[in-house]
Amino acid sequence: MQYDAYIKESQFLPQEDFTFAHLETENEIREYLKLMRKVFGDDPAVELMIKKFLYAHPKMMLKNHFVMKHRKKIVAGLILIPVNWSVEDIPLKTAEMGCVATLEEYRNQGLMRRLIGEYHRQVDAEGYDLSVIEGIPYFYHQFGYSYALALNEETAIPLQRIRRSASKLKIRPFTFDDIAEAAELLEQTQKKFLVHCSRDKQIWRMQQETGIACEYQFESFAIEEHGKMLAYFRINQKPEEKKLILREVTDASQAVNNAILSFLKNYGRKHGLDTLVSQTSYHDS
């Protein structure tokens, strides 16, 4: 890992003015959140995700939050998010770089190169097998990353085109008691993928407690027959676009899928939505 090269190339910065640090105090956290709001706009999802990393994530500490300061003012930052990947059933301890942000007036001064150098140093020191980022295609090539695939692919269908189907299967809100069964169903579903993100018990519990996965809030439901869970699914809404988003669903039979679709049709109509959208799930934090 050539992290020293990134740090060396940032040495032209006036060292008495710029310093690298990890978050330490509540005042710094407030300033850090202010930075993120200014860079990413007033999108509540970004702040929601960062606060989850700060206060709820079982594997993240303040040392996972990297910042550059200019005369004690936080002007740039990024996050190291620990995730578990599996490639051909080989588990990989993976670091995801997230929330890369620099105030506009401080860009093109080598701040991010210094931060990424420190990030790579920590990735190496903590024994990660892989580092990944969801970001601008090809932009991160300068930091040693290769573009892999497009994200955020989706399929949409008007709710009115979904046929109602009668079913005796029970669909109910997901609970903590469902986690063990759901984890088995998710693992079975993921086995068909060459690369996937593995979710352990700690992340399951965090997501259930917060109702947040990555940057979005979700509702989760279990579908069962005679007390046995057959599948589960997660949804959330985009009311401003009248969209119901199917965020996650496990493999199931046609009968189970028909019951889920009928449920989603009714749910969407009840909440004033008109389109069902299924998105590719590729991260889990």
pTM of the model: 0.89
pLDDT at 4: 56
Q: Which residues of the chain have pLDDT under 70?
A: 1-16, 280-283
pLDDT at residue number 264: 98
Is the domain spanning 154-279 CATH 3.40.630.30? The answer is: yes
Q: From 234, 212, 229, select the one nearest 177 (Cα to Cα).
A: 229
Contacts for 38-47 with beta carbons within 8 Å, 24 or more apart?
38/103, 39/101, 39/102, 39/103, 39/104, 40/99, 40/101, 45/215, 45/216, 46/99, 46/215
d(CA 13, CA 138): 25
Instruction: Look up the CATH number of domain 3-143.
Output: 3.40.630.30
Predicted confidence at residue 5, as pLDDT, reads 52
For residue 262, give every residue at least 6 positions away whose Cβ sits within 8 Å of its Cβ, in sequence order, or none: 162, 163, 164, 165, 167
pLDDT in tens, 230-274: 999 999 999 999 999 999 999 999 999 999 999 999 999 999 999
pLDDT in the model for residue 149: 80
* Bridge partners, residue 73, by sequence: 70
b or e along 60-72 (b: 16 or more beta carbons within 10 Å of the residue's beta carbon)? beeebbbbbbbee
Asked if the domains at 3-143 and 154-279 fall in one CATH topology, the answer is: yes
Domain locations along the chain: 3-143, 154-279
Instruction: For residue 137, report the phi and psi dihedrals to the nearest 5 degrees.
Output: -55, 130
Q: Round to whole Å and give the CA distance between 115 and 75.
A: 11
